[in-house]
């Protein structure tokens, strides 16, 4: 069996840039912002007992979910070794070190989610990531990413081909006919109460 070639984007996040990103994303204010996303996105649903994050970095979203749902069982997938080491410090968190492109946890979760991760995936690998997200979910999928109606590559901190906007949720809906859109919303960077990046979130459900 031929071994998959690691993409330049995966190497980018596995290396020094990924480590620098870890250090830039520390602080309780950032966690509060993530709480706002989950509070908004999950306000109409219940019964979520477990969840997994695709691309957890150092765990800001994990901490936010634990704050909102103390009893939830959480798992995380992360490619950067330094970030994994920090994730392992979080109580009761199951951590899978690897790429969201090809990892298989062999388990179903009530909620599968990504926040600002799909935008950094090589577009050629998205089909595999979509498949892994879909088949890991028993019910809900939450996609919170930069949105564009058309696939667009955007310069990222001086680098090319490291950030891609597109309609990730729409592509999932087109690919899997048993998914339906439950809710969606937008976070605005000039919100005086909860300033975040301009992230659009979509909550999908298997029916």
Q: Specify the pTM.
A: 0.96
Token pair for residue 177?
């006919």
**74: β partners:** 51
What is the pLDDT confidence band of residue 4, given thresholds at 50, 70 and 90?
A: confident
What is the pLDDT confidence band of residue 2, given thresholds at 50, 70 and 90?
A: low
Q: What is the pLDDT of residue 111?
A: 99
Token pair for residue 119?
């935008």
Query: Per-residue pLDDT tens for 152-187?
Result: 999 999 999 999 999 999 999 999 999 999 999 999
Domains of the chain as residue ranges with CATH: 8-206 (3.40.50.150)
Residue 1: pLDDT above 60? no
Q: What is the pLDDT of residue 29?
A: 82
Instruction: Using the structure block, give the residue that is written with the tokens 């997200």.
Output: 133
């Amino acid at each position: 069996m031929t071994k998959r070639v690691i993409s330049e984007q995966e190497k980018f996040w596995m290396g020094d840039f990924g480590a620098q990103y870890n250090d830039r994303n520390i602080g309780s204010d950032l966690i509060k912002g993530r709480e706002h996303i989950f509070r908004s996105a999950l306000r109409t649903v219940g019964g979520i007992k477990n969840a997994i994050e695709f691309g957890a970095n150092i765990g800001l979203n994990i901490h936010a979910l634990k704050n909102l749902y103390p009893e939830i069982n959480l798992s995380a997938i992360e490619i950067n070794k330094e970030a994994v080491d920090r994730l392992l410090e979080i109580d009761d968190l199951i951590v899978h070190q690897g790429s969201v492109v090809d990892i298989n946890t062999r388990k179903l979760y009530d909620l599968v989610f990504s926040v600002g991760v799909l935008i950094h995936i090589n577009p050629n690998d998205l089909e595999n990531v979509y498949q892994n997200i879909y088949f890991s979910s028993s019910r809900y999928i939450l996609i919170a990413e930069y949105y564009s109606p058309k696939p667009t590559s955007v310069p990222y901190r001086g680098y090319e081909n490291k950030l891609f906007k597109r309609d990730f949720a729409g592509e999932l809906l087109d690919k899997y006919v048993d998914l339906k859109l439950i809710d969606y919303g937008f976070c605005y960077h000039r919100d005086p109460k909860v300033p975040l990046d301009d992230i659009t979130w979509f909550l999908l459900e298997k029916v």
